[in-house]
Chain A
């Protein structure tokens, strides 16, 4: 039983690390600010969740687990707020995103 929980928590930690590294690669390889925000958002949500889940599985039913759950809750609550504030102030101060042509517009251009 202990072995299964250990294996599960290791899997969670590895998955979380993988997600974190993918987010880091995303933040490095995307060409533009608004796209990088999305890559950072990956590490803010599931990476946090899986690493904390791995730690919770290790800790079991203790106060430590409660604190870990609280940490996930706090990060998930403050993460989107900070992201929204960041993107909003970037947009309002005039940083324009590079947009692709949508399918509808492409169809319109094809017709005309």
Chain B
């Protein structure tokens, strides 16, 4: 079960970075206890909702996704800023629409809906099985989403099932 070991390694690094005391044995022991407790609780959750190792593979495949989503965030920030400072020249055109989701797995759909919400100007209102209800401040933003660039990129992250 590689997921458990990944969790332990990650939590240990997390603790060491946050505490900053790497020599005090008492604090190290407390850290080990916390890591054990957190791992045990995560395992209990996993029993109920079985995670797949796909999540880890996705994280490794994300090196082109993050820069892309960052540029998207900057672009949409600028368009919303225009609406805030110059409401006369850039009027808002709110629109709400149901979109089909290309990503299939649960984690990819979560990532997709989160990406929609993270970019200013669009927010995912409700997620059903394969559809997401999206509210957009500007019609152009909605058209970009309907173009499916983001969906395609998240779908690519999933890889071959």
Q: Which residues of A contact B (CB under 8 A)?
A: 19, 22-23, 25-26, 29-30, 32, 34-35, 37-39, 41-42, 45-46, 63, 66-67, 70, 76, 79-81, 83-84, 87-88, 91-92, 97-100, 102-103
- State whether A38 touches B95 (Cβ < 8 A): no
B125 — which chain A residues lie within 8 A by C-beta? Answer: 84, 87-88, 91
A93–chain B nearest beta-carbon distance, Å? 12
A32 to B114, CA, bound (A): 22
Chain B 85-119 interface mask (CB, 8 Å, partner A; 1/0): 10100001111100000000000000001100111
- How many residues of chain B have a CB within 8 Å of chain A? 33
- State whether A102 touches B95 (Cβ < 8 A): yes
A91 to B20, CA, bound (A): 44
B121 — which chain A residues lie within 8 A by C-beta? Answer: 38, 41
B141–chain A nearest beta-carbon distance, Å? 9
A97 — which chain B residues lie within 8 A by C-beta? Answer: 94, 96, 135
- State whether A100 touches B94 (Cβ < 8 A): yes
A99 to B133, CA, bound (A): 14
If A80-B117, A87-B125 touch, whether A26 touches B80 (CB-CB below 8 Å) is: yes
A87 to B77, CA, bound (A): 19
| Interface class of chain A by DSSP | helix
B93 — which chain A residues lie within 8 A by C-beta? Answer: 100, 102
B81 touches A (CB below 8 Å):
yes
B27–chain A nearest beta-carbon distance, Å? 15
Which residue of B has the minimal Cβ distance to A81?
B114
Which residue of B has the minimal Cβ distance to A84?
B117
Which residue of B has the minimal Cβ distance to A39?
B84
B124 — which chain A residues lie within 8 A by C-beta? Answer: 84, 87
A98 to B123, CA, bound (A): 15
A102 — which chain B residues lie within 8 A by C-beta? Answer: 93, 95, 139
- State whether B18 touches A87 (Cβ < 8 A): no
A107–chain B nearest beta-carbon distance, Å? 13
If A25-B84, A97-B135 touch, whether A42 touches B120 (CB-CB below 8 Å) is: yes
